[in-house]
Each structure stands twice: as structure tokens, then as C-alpha cells.
Amino acid sequence: MKQQKNHNLCLVLFTLIVGGCIRNDASEVQQLPITPIVENLVPSLMAEHEIQGMSVAISHNSQDYFYNFGVLDQESGKAVTQDTIFEVGSISKLFTVTLATKAELEGVISLDAPIGKYVDELTDSPLGEVPVFHLGTHTAGGFPLQLPKQVQTKKSLYEYYRAWRPEHPAGKQRHYANPSIGLLGLLVAQERKESFVSLMEQGLFPSIGMESTFIDVPDEALDNYAWGHSRKGEAVRLKPALLSNEAYGVKTTSADLLKFLKLNLSGTDHSNSLSNAAYQTQESYFETEYFQQSLVWEKYEYPIDTCNLKEGNSNKMILQPSPVTGVEAQKSNHYVLSKTGSTNGFGAYVFAVPSEDFALVLLANKYYPNGARVETAYRIAAEILSWNAEYCE
């Protein structure tokens, strides 16, 4: 059995950090090589951005490490643990495309087929002619980041999709968007003849061993569900909305999310369809200025150019279209996988280097800038993997 290191870091915030403790399962104080860099970076990050609680999970060379800081909400003062549930925003999209690649491997759909083959409402429409994989690569032809406000029902949603007209041909521009990945989730659920939530909560999550991961957090788990904190300091949680389940609705723990990242480190295994499905999401489809676009994953060359990592996670890449070209050949096995996720009250980031057997999860119960998440993750990885620790200015 793989050994797991379990650490609980206790600290007091907003009077700066006045104390801390590290404890393993035997309650013996133990300093590991990874510990100092996490202790140095995360508390200062939290103080700078006034974050109430964070959970950090790291896997390296088959060893798992957990570091937990602060509280899940101010009122209760309950300490964050690796079992605290956080909203992860657009990291949810990784699960949606994994559901899609699994469906393809099982012969349920083809990502190369036109969308109209599966969605009758879109037969003989411009969107119906677009191959399905474009929904997972943000390249269908120009969707907005969010649905228009007037789209509030499933009927009006399909009317919106049918009336949609591309701004440019599919595969020419990347528009980061929730409506496109949302449609992919709806499409898979329709072909499976099961609800999207059920496919996730009764199917995908348990198959990965993610026992504390939900779209709809059940009553018995609410005590472990952190409260997020808005930019105004208000306690908030995600409210259900059209396509929220498919695009940004997952709530999970650092321990569970690390299991998902480890699945993505495992490579292809002909005996394990789930491993193969995760690996297929990493296939590169398009080149952007800074990274290769896979199915939701943003894939960077390794060794990594930190300026590419910084710019690739900038607001520009979320809010503005960017030109893409098709990928003629897959990168080698040496690459970095990156994905941010946010809701109004939470900020998350996942970062993985398959060739180094390394994965990192950062979860916070406050939205804070992507740049700060990415730089912190890079500095932790640089220390552990002996990279040049300098980061792009």
C-alpha cells in the first residue's frame, strides 16, 4: 500500500501568523522536505489576500502530503482539513470532458461526430455541424463566457444554441466559454439516458474513489462545506444556475481532487478504461500563443517557460478570443497540465507534471487572482523538483 503522509497545519490568521503545528498520523512532529516551502509561501499568500482558509495537497513519487490552513468559516472557527469541501469552479470542466472521453471509449459517442448527430434540436443548424470535440477545446466558433441573461430555461437554452451563429470557423479562435462545455455535458447525459448529476455523483466520482465530491452537497456533508468569501467579504456559496452543473458546479476536497490528479498522472493503461479516459483528455488539439489546448487542460512544454505559464493564466486568455492553429504532432511525455477554477467565493488551482509523478492542489475559500495561485504553485513545485525558482516578472 502506498504510504500517505497526513499533516494538519494549524494557524491563526489576520493577526499575521502567530503559531503553527505539523502533525502526522502518529501525532509526532515531523519536518519533511516539502514542508518548509509550503509553510513559507501559503500563510503569506493568505495574509496578502485575506483568505480565511486553504487546503494544499501534493503528490510526488507516490507519496501524498496534505497541509491545511485557517478556518472553513469565521463564524464557526472550524479548522480546514483535507476533508473540507471547497467549490472548484471551472476545474469542474475537467470532469465533464473525462465523462465525455469515457463515453467515447465505450462507444456511446464520437468526439469527431457533428453535434447534431446527438442533439436533435440542433439538426440542420450551424452549431449542429460542428464536431463535438470543439465543445471541450473552446474552439466551436465564438461563444461568450457566460450564457446571456435572458436564457433561463432548458427550452430557451436550446433555442439559443439553435439561433447561435459562429463568429468564425470552428478551430480558428479560442473563446473560453461555459455555454460550450455545458452543451458537451448535456450531450453526454442525453446519450447515456441519465442525468448529468447522477453520472457524476453515482458514476464518475465513486469510480475514482472521490467519496466527498458532489455537485449537490448532501445535508450530512454540509458541516464540512466551507463558506466562500466574496470580494466584499460576504459569506457566499454557489447558487444553482443553468449549466452550472456541467461547467463549474463541482464541490470537492483537496484529498479527493488529488486522487483525480493522480489518475491523470497514470498514463494510458489498456486494462483500465478510466485511466485511458483521463489520458485522452490530455491529447493536444490546438496551439495557442502560450500553451497547447487539450480537452479543457492547458498543456505547457516542460521544462516550463514561466512567462508562458503566467500569460496563459492571465485574464486575457479568459476574457478575450485568441487565435489557434491545429496541432500536427503530440508533445512528448514531458509536459505540464494546468487549470484554474473560480466561483464568486472560492479560488482553486491544479498543476501536474506527469513525467515527474508530481501533482499539486490549491483550494481557497476566497476568490483571489489567478496569477497569485499560479506563482505560488510554481514556487512550490520548483522547490520540490529542483527547478530554477525564478518566476516571470
Q: How far apart are CA 238 and CA 345, in angstroms?
A: 8
Describe the crossing of helices 178-192 and 154-163 by its angle, rounded to 10 degrees: 110
% helix, strand, coil for the chain, step of 5:
35, 20, 45
The residue written with cell numbers 518566476 in the block is 391
Residues 6+ away with beta carbon under 8 Å from 383: 34, 37, 389
How does 189-222 read in b/e, with b if 16+ C-beta sit within 10 Å? beebeeebeebbbeebbeebebebbbbebeeebe
The CA R_g of the chain, rounded to the nearest whole Å, is 20
Q: Would you say the C-alpha torsion 210, 212, 213, 214 has a positive or negative sign?
A: positive
Asked whether 243 and 147 are in contact (CB, 8 A), the reply is yes
Among the listed residues 247, 261, 333, 325, the one whose alpha carbon sits nearest the alpha carbon of residue 291: 325
Q: Amino acid letter at 103?
A: A
Asked whether 254 and 87 are in contact (CB, 8 A), the reply is no
Q: DSSP code of 117?
A: G
Active-site residue identified among 90, 284, 294, 342? 90
Q: How far apart are CA 51 and CA 369, in angstroms?
A: 12
Active site residue 90: yes
| Cis peptide, bond prior to residue 323, ω within 30 of zero | no
Among the listed residues 298, 258, 208, 210, the one whose alpha carbon sits nearest the alpha carbon of residue 60: 258
The residue written with cell numbers 516551502 in the block is 37
Q: Which residues are known catalytic residues?
A: 90
